[in-house]
Amino acid sequence: MRSTRLMLSAKGEGSVLMRSQFEAFSRQLPLLYLILIINSVAVAITHIGVAPDLLSVYVPAVLCVACVVRLAVWARRRKLIVNLSDRQIAQRLRTTIWLIVVLGCLFTAWGLSLYRYGGAYAKAHVAFYMSITVIGCIFCLMHMRTAALLLTAVVLIPFALFFSATGNPVFVAIAINMVLVSMAMVKVLLTYYRDFSNLVRSQNALEQKQRELEALNDENHKLANADSLTGLPNRRHFLRQLAEQFENGRLPDRSFAVGVIDLDGFKQVNDLHGHRAGDSLLEEVGRRLVAFMSEQLQIARLGGDEFGLLFLQIDTPRQLLDIGSAICDALRLPYELPRATARISASLGIAMFPDAGRNAEQLFERADYALYYGKENRRGHTTIFSEQHESSIREFGSVEQALRQADLERELTLHYQPIVDARTGEATSHEALARWSSPVLGDVSPALFIRVAERSDLIHELTAVLLGKALAFMNEGGRRIHVSFNLSARDIASPEAVQKIREMVQASGVDAGRLTFEVTETAMTQDFEKGRAALSELKRLGAKISLDDFGTGYSSLHCIHQLPLNHVKVDRSFVCDIARDAAAQGIVRSIVELCRNLELTCVIEGVETEEQIAVLQRLGCKFMQGYYFGRPAPMGACGALAVSAPGGR
């Protein structure tokens, strides 16, 4: 009984052993009761007419009925073992042990009470009955050590004492023999029980290790397929889900779509408020996206501020636009960060099967292209890949191939547009603008081939060729020539490219103070810290730094104050209707005042009429650039315009 209590109190291993005992005993129990019934019936029959009916009929009948009842109870309980708790099993084992002791006492008392009836053979039958029955029962109770030992004591002690007291040498020998055999059986019982316990513990330990291994595998699978920050599935899981749509090389029989989300303005939040705030924002983005997830829409974080969508069942493009609009609206709501409130937007590009592609890689690439197109043309909205985009891809492809095979030194040229002091009408500098005349494609728009070069990693080679031509122009034009040269986001993000630019300027012999490097606001938003470091490196070279297209990106006063700037160029979008647009006048006046306070030169782009010049001068603008003062022209047409450089650090 004490061992049963210990098993109950020992969570884990003890309870497992107890349950194993219960299961094993439930299989042996029918045999135990069958032995009792058969042996008891046999003895009762040999004593009918010899012993009183009470002992030969009624008592054994009652005992056998009790065995049958217990057998029926166990048969029913065995089916319920899976649903039994450890405490319920322990209670049933305790009850069984007590019943075995009680039944052992009753059967022993009944057997010994029959001894005085009948002749020598009947007496021998009683001795045989008791010895063979107890041996059989002990074997049936091998899995329950406590019950077996109690039954052995309950039967063996009275048996040995009773038959030893008869004085009959045969029965005394039987008693002694029974004691010795029982001791051997007890030894076998203890050994068997020990091995059984060890086996159960070993099996339990193995199962525990297996569960730990499965849990570890599940955790590894989760870590390998889930994003640790947002809890969403990660890129690997997303791409596998997408590939599963094309399993066994068969095309799906339904329409579905792939979407890619990119957060507009996340980089600025990260730079301005720190990575912790950026992580908080991404966590909230994840929570908002989870609200849209369903069996038909799977969402994953692809990396950084990019998320993937898999629309598994789509009926019409309108349905995609509605879902995309709802997602973009949800992500546009304010974000409460630890120390600030931020607002961003999200652009979503979508590619539908089979219209946009017929394999996983093509669909993902075209969803990414739709996103790229959307960020340039419809930032903050949903763009579905269309035939127009397909044409653009083909155009991009042909331009890229021609660019890779081009003789850049021969085919690339620079045109120059003057930057003028409006008070004197004299050019103070020239902006170098790239031109490409391809023998295959003809004249290609700079807006197109520069974008292609940036996306295909050819931009560094183009920059090197064009800078070389600009430096040569400066050497040929004399010390009065000042040039503004544009750098791409890829240039300032590459330490190797910045080092190459430094080496070219130093090797040219050109005074770096005559050279201004222009970068756009959007170029700085790619990686502010790396961009600032690159501009500082060029500033130490002696060159000037100009922030181009100011007012169209996400720059803040804080960011501008941290950049090593000399000039700020106001985007042409503020100038086109400035004569009648009071709001534009107010913005330009504020920018001019900002530049004056920060000791920066302010240049107005896109000036085309005298009316615009008059308004801009009233607002305090001095330096201007635009078609009014001259269109971009080849090198030879620009020399006469160059005079002195504008003021500024």
646 is a domain residue: no
pTM of the predicted model, to two decimals? Answer: 0.58
pLDDT of 116 > 70? The answer is yes
Same domain? For 107 and 197 the reply is yes
Same domain? For 378 and 411 the reply is no
Distance CA 18, CA 146 (A): 12
Q: Which pLDDT score, from 0 to 100, does residue 100 have?
A: 81
The 345-353 sheet, strands edge to edge? 297-303, 306-311, 256-264, 345-353, 382-384
647 is a domain residue: no
For 280-336, write each residue's pLDDT tens digit: 999 999 999 999 999 999 999 999 999 999 999 888 889 999 999 999 999 999 999
pLDDT of 401 > 90? The answer is yes
- Name which of 34, 41, 35, 29 is nearest 111 in CA terms: 41
Task: Take residue 615 and report the two structure tokens written for it.
Answer: 């308004």
pLDDT of 11 > 50? The answer is no
User: Number of structural domains, the chain?
Assistant: 3
What are the beta bridge partners of residue 515? Answer: 483
Same domain? For 405 and 375 the reply is no
Mark which of 357, 385, 413 sits at the end of a domain: 385
Distance CA 617, CA 602 (A): 12
Distance CA 86, CA 89 (A): 5
pLDDT of 267 > 90? The answer is no
Indicate the burial class of 443 (C-beta count within 10 angstroms; 0-12, 13-18, 19 or more).
exposed
- Name which of 371, 428, 358, 380 is nearest 647 in CA terms: 428
pLDDT band at 498; cut points 50, 70, 90: very high
The answer to whether residues 324 and 307 touch, using CB atoms and an 8 Å cutoff, is no
Q: Which pLDDT score, from 0 to 100, does residue 641 have?
A: 45
Instruction: Give the residue, 522 or 452, on which the prediction is more confident.
Output: 452
pLDDT band at 520; cut points 50, 70, 90: confident
369 is a domain residue: yes
Instruction: Give the residue, 227 or 118, on which the prediction is more confident.
Output: 227
Same domain? For 333 and 477 the reply is no
Q: Stretch 242-261: mean pLDDT, rounded?
A: 84
Same domain? For 241 and 201 the reply is no
pLDDT band at 340; cut points 50, 70, 90: confident
Mark which of 194, 209, 224 sits at the end of a domain: 209
215 is a domain residue: no
Give the chain's mean pLDDT. Answer: 86
CATH number of the domain that residue 471 is part of: 3.20.20.450
For 590-605, write each residue's pLDDT tens digit: 999 999 999 999 999 9
544 is a domain residue: yes
Q: Residue 299 is part of which domain span?
A: 235-385
Q: Which residues contact 69 (CB under 8 A, 6 or more apart)?
A: none
Same domain? For 240 and 205 the reply is no
pLDDT band at 14; cut points 50, 70, 90: low
pLDDT of 46 > 50? The answer is yes
Give the ranges where 406-527 is alpha helix by DSSP (H).
Answer: 408-411, 446-455, 459-477, 489-492, 495-508, 521-526
For 408-435, write each residue's pLDDT tens digit: 999 999 999 999 999 998 999 999 999 9
Q: Which pLDDT score, from 0 to 100, does residue 322 have?
A: 93
Same domain? For 428 and 311 the reply is no
Q: Stretch 95-107: mean pLDDT, rounded?
A: 84
Q: Which pLDDT score, from 0 to 100, does residue 636 have?
A: 65
Same domain? For 314 and 448 the reply is no
Task: Take residue 336 and report the two structure tokens written for it.
Answer: 């409460």
Distance CA 454, CA 489 (A): 8
- Name which of 422, 446, 445, 428 is nearest 575 in CA terms: 422
Same domain? For 200 and 304 the reply is no
391 is a domain residue: no
For residue 598, count other CB atoms closer than 10 A to its CB. Answer: 14
pLDDT of 20 > 90? The answer is no
Distance CA 311, CA 300 (A): 12
Q: Stretch 222-245: mean pLDDT, rounded?
A: 87
For 434-444, write each residue's pLDDT tens digit: 999 999 999 99
Mark which of 385, 415, 432 sits at the end of a domain: 385
- Name which of 327, 331, 233, 338 is nearest 280 in CA terms: 338
The answer to whether residues 44 and 60 touch, using CB atoms and an 8 Å cutoff, is yes
Same domain? For 372 and 427 the reply is no
pLDDT band at 4; cut points 50, 70, 90: very low
Q: Which residues contact 174 (CB under 8 A, 6 or more apart)?
A: 127, 131, 163
Question: Which is it for the CA torsion 404, 408, 410, 415, positive or negative?
Answer: positive
228 is a domain residue: no
Q: What percent of the chain has pLDDT over 90?
A: 42
| Continuous segment of H or E residues that includes residue 567 | strand 567-570
Q: Which pLDDT score, from 0 to 100, does residue 6 have?
A: 39
Indicate the burial class of 211 (C-beta count within 10 angstroms; 0-12, 13-18, 19 or more).
exposed
Is 264 in a helix, a strand, or coil?
A: strand
CATH number of the domain that residue 278 is part of: 3.30.70.270
Instruction: Give the residue, 14 or 351, on which the prediction is more confident.
Output: 351
535 is a domain residue: yes
Q: Which residues contact 104 (CB under 8 A, 6 or more apart)?
A: 137, 150, 151, 154, 155
Same domain? For 426 and 531 the reply is yes
Same domain? For 364 and 254 the reply is yes
Q: Write the Ramachandran bin of 384: left for phi over 0, alpha for psi from -120 to 50, otherwise beta.
A: beta
pLDDT of 554 > 70? The answer is no
The answer to whether residues 645 and 429 touch, using CB atoms and an 8 Å cutoff, is yes
Question: Which is it for the CA torsion 286, 287, 292, 293, positive or negative?
Answer: positive
The answer to whether residues 482 and 642 touch, using CB atoms and an 8 Å cutoff, is yes
